[in-house]
Amino acid sequence: MKLSTKSRYGVRALFDLAYNSGSLPTQVQDISRRQDISPRYLEQIFQNLKKAGILTSKRGPKGGYTLARKPEEISIRDILLATEGESLFVDCIVVGDGRRKRKPECGLNGCCVTQTIWSDANNLMTEHFGTVTLKDLCERAQAMGLKREVDNRMMYFI
Amino acid sequence: MKLSTKSRYGVRALFDLAYNSGSLPTQVQDISRRQDISPRYLEQIFQNLKKAGILTSKRGPKGGYTLARKPEEISIRDILLATEGESLFVDCIVVGDGRRKRKPECGLNGCCVTQTIWSDANNLMTEHFGTVTLKDLCERAQAMGLKREVDNRMMYFI
DNA sequence: CTTAAAACCTACTATTTCTGTCAACTAAAT
DNA sequence: ATTTAGTTGACAGAAATAGTAGGTTTTAAG
């Protein structure tokens, strides 16, 4: 069980957005270049993140994407929810409000012992990822001495 | 990111072994029947678990598989290590003694901020799964009132 | 010694998921 | 009007997963 690239790229891209962007929207191609992710593919990922309410977009010249909330209000959990779905590990557990049912998968639904382990693990991870935000990532990056890219659109105004 | 069936079946099968077996070896076909897993597929999974030192086997008539250690000495972590490999979540982190290198995956090796999150999560899960053993599963099963199957090989001796 | 029951090994196939590309379309700014 | 950039849905190649199959070896029992 590995995270899909949608999750890994998604987190990287959102971090990039939080770390390198000012108040202006950032284009997919810039993030794509900095993070070395196929721009077309990144567009797809960003669509999901937009649907999930993590990103907002602006079309046209000088358009691009912006974080919908402040970095400290976007957790890894939020991102994974958009890219991986409700439950990590297995599909056969019912999570949250239980509106969406999952495929039963095995006949022993409800009385399956192993289900409880995956459910516990899922809760643990959800809780953990809920406490890590984009702001934390930015702080780590700064502590590691990661360079911010100068916004080259500013050049025109100098 | 979902667990592979090898992991889920593996845990189920080992639990079954711990819960339903006496001192005699248990055949793949019995576990397969009780847990509704394809016997041929289960054989493959058991080979890995044997290589990992979790199972021992005996060939020939009245042969089968036995747990290599006591149920309280086999953790979910041990099982996942055999079925999923060293690291959950991502491949680009170096775990353990570092003898086995992973594919770099991204150019930013070593100075990647997001890598640290997956690494943290991996450690957390490893720690957690390390504390849950087959014995715990058996206790949960008993608490849930799960019936043990009578070993029908005993019938002949009545 | 023969037979049969079981694990063991290797290869193959089908299915699904992942990853990425393409083309046509729509909206916004100049 | 034109250009820039996001939107959408379809689609294709690659890789991983899941499961099947045939044959071999070991061993207990008759």
Render pLDDT for B33-66 as a digit per residue (tens, 0 to 9): 999 999 999 999 999 999 999 999 999 999 999 9
* Residue B5 contacts strand D, CB under 7 A: yes
Q: Which two tokens stand for residue A48?
A: 């999901």
Confidence band for A107, pLDDT divided at 50, 70 and 90: low
Fold annotation for A5-148: Arc Repressor Mutant, subunit A (1.10.10)
Beta bridge partners of A2: B89
Nearest alpha-carbon partner for B110 in B129, B94, B126, B128: B94
* Integer angstrom CA distances of residue B104 from A7, A12, A37, B108: 17, 16, 15, 8
- Estimate in Å the CA B49 to C1' D17 gap, whole number: 18
pLDDT, mean over chain A: 83
Distance B33 CA to C14 C1' (A): 24
**What H or E segment, with its residue span, contains residue B138?**
helix B134-143
- The residues, ordered by sequence, that sit 6+ positions from A31 with a Cβ below 8 Å of its Cβ are A13, A16, A17, A37, A42
The partner residue sitting opposite B3, judged by closest CB among A90, A107, A132, is A90
Q: Do A113 and B36 touch (CB under 8 A)?
A: no
pLDDT of amino acid A128 = 97
Cβ-based contacts of B1 with chain A (< 8 Å): 1-4, 7, 84, 88-89
Cα separations (Å) of A57 from A33, A51, B112?
19, 11, 26
Alpha-carbon distances of B115 from A44, A120, B78, B109, rounded to whole Å: 22, 24, 24, 9
Q: How confident is the model at residue A150 (pLDDT cuts 50, 70, 90)?
A: low
B107: chain A residues, CB-CB within 8 Å: 36
**Strand, helix or coil for residue B79:** helix
Nearest CA of chain A to the CA of B119: how many Å? 12
Tens of pLDDT, residue by residue over A41-64, are 899 999 999 989 999 998 888 889
What is the reported pTM? 0.88
Tokens 């998968």 locate to: A105
Residues on chain B touching A137 (C-beta within 8 angstroms): 113-114, 117
| Cα atoms in the 13 Å half-sphere on the side-chain side of A56 | 9
Q: How far is it, in rounded angstroms, from Cα A13 to Cα A21?
A: 11
Q: What is the DSSP letter of A148?
A: P
CA distance B156 to chain A (A): 30
H or E stretch at B28: helix B28-35
